[in-house]
């Protein structure tokens, strides 16, 4: 369960799950590899939910968590590293790497898409309940 993990633990987990190195993760967060390396070993147990100075890690971890819900298991990284028409036939990982704003945008898109899928599923279930067999 990712809810109980600290921000550094989530960053290490997403690197493993996505198969990316610290340099690529640092670039996605817009920090130097040295700063990112410090984040990974930082003891944040006495700090708040978002430890001081780690604000840029939040949208990356949000993408990670939302992607787990949207495309669980190996489907998440496959989706992340494949081109999609919703992103101008670009890979979401490349869109995220292009700017901090686009990292936030991909996070928003995943959240909106998941909400749309959930709403469509709920709507279909409601319609199915309303069908009467005569």
Instruction: At 24, list the tokens.
Output: 């690529």
The number of C-alpha atoms within 13 Å of 132 and in the hemisphere containing its C-beta is 1
> Which residue in 38, 36, 39 sits closest to 28, CA to CA?
36
- Please, where are the H alpha helices in the chain? 7-18, 22-29, 33-41, 57-70, 75-80, 92-98, 100-130
pLDDT of residue 55: 87
Whether residue 5 contacts residue 13, with contact meaning beta carbons closer than 8 Å, is answered with yes
3-state secondary structure at position 100: helix
Report how far apart the first and last C-alpha atoms of the chain are (Å, whole number).
46
pLDDT of residue 116: 52
pLDDT of residue 115: 53
pLDDT of residue 22: 95
Is pTM beyond 0.85 here? no
Measured N-to-C along each axis, helices 22-29 and 57-70 cross at an angle, to the nearest 10 degrees, of 110
Q: Hey, which residues does 90 pair with through a beta bridge?
A: 84
pLDDT of residue 134: 45
Per run of 10 residues, the mean pLDDT along the chain (length 134 residues) is 78 95 95 91 73 85 91 90 93 96 93 64 54 51
3-state secondary structure at position 106: helix
pLDDT of residue 112: 86
The number of C-alpha atoms within 13 Å of 39 and in the hemisphere containing its C-beta is 28
């Amino acid at each position: 369960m990712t809810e109980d993990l600290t921000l550094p633990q989530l960053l290490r987990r997403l690197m493993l799950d996505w198969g990316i190195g610290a340099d690529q993760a640092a670039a996605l967060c817009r920090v130097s590899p040295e700063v990112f390396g410090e984040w990974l070993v930082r003891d944040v147990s006495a700090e708040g939910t978002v430890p001081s100075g780690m604000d840029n890690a939040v949208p990356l971890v949000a993408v990670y968590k939302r992607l787990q819900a949207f495309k669980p298991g190996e489907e998440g990284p496959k989706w992340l590293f494949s081109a999609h028409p919703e992103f101008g036939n670009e890979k979401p990982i490349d869109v995220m790497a292009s700017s901090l704003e686009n990292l936030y945008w991909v996070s928003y898109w995943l959240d909106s898409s998941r909400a749309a899928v959930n709403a469509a599923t709920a709507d279909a279930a409601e319609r199915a309940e309303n069908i009467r067999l005569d």
